[in-house]
Amino acid sequence: MCGIVGYVGDKQAARFLIEGLTKLEYRGYDSAGIAVYNGESDAIRVEKSVGRLAELEKKIDGNVPVGCMGIGHTRWATHGGPSDLNSHPHTDCTGDFAVVHNGIIENYLALKEELIEAGHVFKSETDTEVLPHLLETYYEGDFEAAVRKVLRRIEGSYSIVFMSKADPDTLICTKQDNPLVIGLGEGENFIASDIPAIIARTRRTYIINDGEVAVVKKDSVWITNRRGEPITKKVFEVNWNAEAAEKGGYEHFMLKEIHEQPKAVRDTLSGRIAKDDSAVILDELKWTAEYVNSFSKVFIIACGTAYHAGLVGKYYIENLARVPVEVDIASEFRYRKPIIDDNTLTIVVSQSGETIDTLAALKEAKRLGSKTMAVTNVVGSSIAREADQVVYTWAGPEIAVASTKAYTTQLIVMFLLGAYMAGLRGTVEDSRMKELLGKLRNIPAQISETLEDVDPIKAFAQQYGYNDDVFFLGRALDYHVALEGSLKLKEISYIHAEAYAAGELKHGTLALITRGIPVVALATQRGVYEKTLSNIKEVKARDAVVIGVAAKGDTELHKYTDHVIFVPETDELLIPLLTVLPLQLLAYYTALTRGCDVDKPRNLAKSVTVE
């Protein structure tokens, strides 16, 4: 996730660019930059800096680029770490074209090789830089025609603004799977990733759809579809306040981030499944069968929600790749003399990449000779830098303290890793691999479908939200999801919540189940389904109120529960990606019912950098 802005009009562009980027910093903040066309010198001046926007402002202090057309960017790194050179805007060899981009150009490596062969010189490690070089290649005096040629060459997700020195009154922008709006002013027009950037200047906007191309001048906006046919758009009048706009109209960042999961998961999968679904592609690893077969054991180490993702990761790697996995809490691992050698692979999982316990555990594993790998959401974070290898989740910045989209994208990476290792070890039949990866492709759409069904969950939150205790039950993968559901509920609603492996309840905890206690019971794992039903009957017999979670098509669970929440059908290995969603929503709406501060729960911080 990054933020992009553009301005063309009769005022100084830099003023709006900086102001707009300030409002988009929630989309990314590891570097920022602007490019402004100066008519007098007939040149595009680019200023960019690693760090927050304040660093860029410091850098250009007193020497603001002059000109009435410009573009800007605040970055959340994906391809290429945070650095001055990797910051946007990116330019071509001549400096005549500048581009800002939010998203991922999936085929950039092939394009980059082709461009280098043709003599282009690249300055950054980003996927984005292919765009200005392609524009340079195709430009023959017609800016729009050249942009269309560029768009025909690229695959992936993007919102882009193109600027050309030879066309000093025109910006061209487009989008695919990333947001883009145009703000309509008087003698000036604005482009931005999101409404907060422009709301102080205008409330009249065009919301751009996938595949649309907009040619934006100071007095006109001309929009066409992929085929170049004109589109008549309705002006969308924004009636939210600026703060609501930053949350995309959602009341809280947590809810916004819950709803961002289809995109976060799609981005994290992007380019990582072979076109024919036969294999996982993890270009960042380049492992061989020999390398994978050298692992005698895998350790997964993390804290909190990331630890819960690690538990699912163990299930995936053991089930698919048949390599033994141990999962540990980071703050425990380093003090218990773990048995590790150079045949161990240690995987640390951390959204922020800065959690001190996880970082210390990673250093300890390294010291003991382990191979190391990080799964993190923050490019260039301490953990990303410390690990030998990194696989990124591409969830974009997570602002709410309670982790949601980080968890589902971590599950995606763990699944991809299990399948990747299985591919190298030959432990999964080709037909099964195809079936799994085909179903994995459907997950983003199934997440959207699941998130549409919130009304029953709101009702449960209102009905049971004032109970003091809630229990979560499940077996196998359902148990791991239950752990995450219970953590979400306790951290934001302050209800005492506990998750149990359903079969373990009778070994003590059943004593706590009394009349009216809500029990959330997940029952999606076929191999242990009957056993789970027996455990549900045990709590029902003690007069608990049972809310079941099942896959559509389940015709049994409702007989033994008070309510059932259904999620779409998929493979039982993938279903945690869906069953966790109602539990996130239940935690959210329960916290609302109880009047809790959802985004900033008491005593907690987003990034835990103390032991």
Cβ atoms of 392 and 78 within 8 Å: the answer is yes
Nearest approach in angstroms of CB 32 to ligand F6R is: 23
Nearest approach in angstroms of CB 609 to ligand F6R is: 10
Residue closest to ligand F6R (Cβ) = 304
Applying CB under 6 A, among 78, 268, 351, 382 the residue interacting with ligand F6R is: 351
Give the span between the Cα atoms of 404 and 309, in whole angstroms: 11
Does 261 bind ligand F6R (CB under 6 A)? Our answer is: no
Cβ atoms of 71 and 5 within 8 Å: the answer is yes
Applying CB under 6 A, among 43, 109, 281, 608 the residue interacting with ligand F6R is: 608
* Vertex 225 angle, CA 219 and 226, to 5°: 130
Tell which residue, 566, 470, 474, 459, has the closest CA to residue 513: 470
Q: Which stretch binds ligand F6R (CB under 6 A): 42-50, 83-91, 302-310, 550-558?
A: 302-310
Nearest approach in angstroms of CB 161 to ligand F6R is: 32
Nearest approach in angstroms of CB 387 to ligand F6R is: 13
Nearer to ligand F6R, 182 or 303 (CB): 303
Applying CB under 6 A, among 491, 505, 519, 560 the residue interacting with ligand F6R is: 491
Bridge partners, 171 (sequence order): 163, 216
Nearer to ligand F6R, 379 or 487 (CB): 487
Which residues, other chains included, contact 399 with Cβ-Cβ below 8 Å and sequence gap of 6+? 26, 253, 257, 599, 606
Does 352 bind ligand F6R (CB under 6 A)? Our answer is: yes
Q: Which stretch binds ligand F6R (CB under 6 A): 58-66, 161-169, 349-357, 556-564?
A: 349-357
Give the span between the Cα atoms of 298 and 532, in whole angstroms: 29
Nearest approach in angstroms of CB 305 to ligand F6R is: 3
* Vertex 291 angle, CA 290 and 293, to 5°: 65
Nearer to ligand F6R, 356 or 512 (CB): 356
Does 303 bind ligand F6R (CB under 6 A)? Our answer is: yes
Cβ atoms of 154 and 105 within 8 Å: the answer is yes
Q: Which stretch binds ligand F6R (CB under 6 A): 68-76, 299-307, 433-441, 561-569?
A: 299-307
Give the span between the Cα atoms of 339 and 327, in whole angstroms: 13
Bridge partners, 267 (sequence order): none
Nearer to ligand F6R, 412 or 487 (CB): 487
Q: Where on the phi/psi map is residue 393: left (φ > 0), alpha (ψ -120 to 50), or beta? A: beta
Does 304 bind ligand F6R (CB under 6 A)? Our answer is: yes
Does 412 bind ligand F6R (CB under 6 A)? Our answer is: no
Place of tokens 């690990």: 387
Nearest approach in angstroms of CB 382 to ligand F6R is: 11
Applying CB under 6 A, among 355, 382, 525, 535 the residue interacting with ligand F6R is: 355
Nearer to ligand F6R, 223 or 303 (CB): 303
Nearer to ligand F6R, 193 or 376 (CB): 376
Tell which residue, 26, 3, 30, 6, has the closest CA to residue 16: 6
Of residues 49 through 68, those in contact with ligand F6R by CB under 6 A are none
Give the span between the Cα atoms of 530 and 273, in whole angstroms: 34
Quote the tokens at residue 434.
């195809």
Nearer to ligand F6R, 195 or 487 (CB): 487
Applying CB under 6 A, among 1, 151, 373, 402 the residue interacting with ligand F6R is: 402
Quote the tokens at residue 98.
């500048």
Cβ atoms of 33 and 89 within 8 Å: the answer is yes
Q: Which stretch binds ligand F6R (CB under 6 A): 128-136, 163-171, 351-359, 547-555?
A: 351-359
Tell which residue, 518, 594, 527, has the closest CA to residue 561: 518
The DSSP string of 380-449 is T-HHHHHSSEEEE-------SSS-SHHHHHHHHHHHHHHHHHHHHHT-S-HHHHHHHHHHHHHHHHHHHH
Q: Which stretch binds ligand F6R (CB under 6 A): 243-251, 348-356, 502-510, 557-565?
A: 348-356
Nearest approach in angstroms of CB 413 to ligand F6R is: 12
Place of tokens 């191979």: 371
Quote the tokens at residue 382.
């301490």
Nearer to ligand F6R, 38 or 355 (CB): 355
Does 350 bind ligand F6R (CB under 6 A)? Our answer is: yes
Per DSSP bridges, beta strands 171-176 and 97-105 are: unpaired
Which residues, other chains included, contact 85 with Cβ-Cβ below 8 Å and sequence gap of 6+? 123, 124, 125
Give the span between the Cα atoms of 596 and 88, in whole angstroms: 39
Does 356 bind ligand F6R (CB under 6 A)? Our answer is: no
The DSSP string of 53-112 is HHHHHHHHTT-PPP-SEEEEEEE--SSS-SSTTTSSPEE-SSS-EEEEEEEEETTHHHHH
Applying CB under 6 A, among 38, 261, 403, 493 the residue interacting with ligand F6R is: 403
Query: Residue 4's CB: how many other CB atoms inside 10 A?
Result: 34
Which residues, other chains included, contact 575 with Cβ-Cβ below 8 Å and sequence gap of 6+? 477, 524, 551, 567
Applying CB under 6 A, among 305, 408, 561, 584 the residue interacting with ligand F6R is: 305
Nearer to ligand F6R, 304 or 397 (CB): 304
Q: Which residues are the active-site residues?
A: 2, 606
Applying CB under 6 A, among 32, 34, 306, 457 the residue interacting with ligand F6R is: 306
Nearer to ligand F6R, 87 or 355 (CB): 355
Nearer to ligand F6R, 402 or 497 (CB): 402
Could you tell me how many residues of this chain bind ligand F6R (CB under 6 A)? Answer: 15
Q: Which stretches of the chain bind ligand F6R, using CB under 6 A?
A: 303-306, 350-352, 355, 358, 402-403, 487, 491, 607-608
